[in-house]
Structure 1
Amino acid sequence: MSEILKYKRGSIKQAPLTEGSPNWDEFSEMYWEEIEAGVEANQPGFKVVRKLLSDKRFDK
């Protein structure tokens, strides 16, 4: 996911994440497949991160 974050605005990391979710540094070390698996497992914060990374408004 660190490759994806390179093409996103830095302000994306200011988005609040739900309690109990990994922080942005932990998310940046994950693969997209891990994000998708977290969404499917309904883990906290994963849906928000996937939505933000998929949103074209945060592209550079």
Structure 2
Amino acid sequence: MLDKKRIDCFTCRHFYITWDRDFRKGCRAMGFKCNEMPSIVVYQNSGVECLRYEPKLPRKQK
């Protein structure tokens, strides 16, 4: 499956958790929701690692 390192959607700024019980994870950049990690779904369907990955911006300290 993913030979190299996996893209960790939890560290991507486009990843979000949905309220949809059937589809718990989502990608705002690609515009879809799924049960698996979105980067895995992208790889399974295209054979290419996710090209929309962007690291989350650091949180501001209070």
**Which structure has the higher relative contact order (CA within 8 Å, separation 6+)?**
1
Q: Does the pair score TM above 0.5? A: no
Q: Computing the radius of gyration over CA atoms, which structure comes out larger, 1 or 2?
A: 2
Structure with more strand by fraction: 2
Structure with more helix by fraction: 1
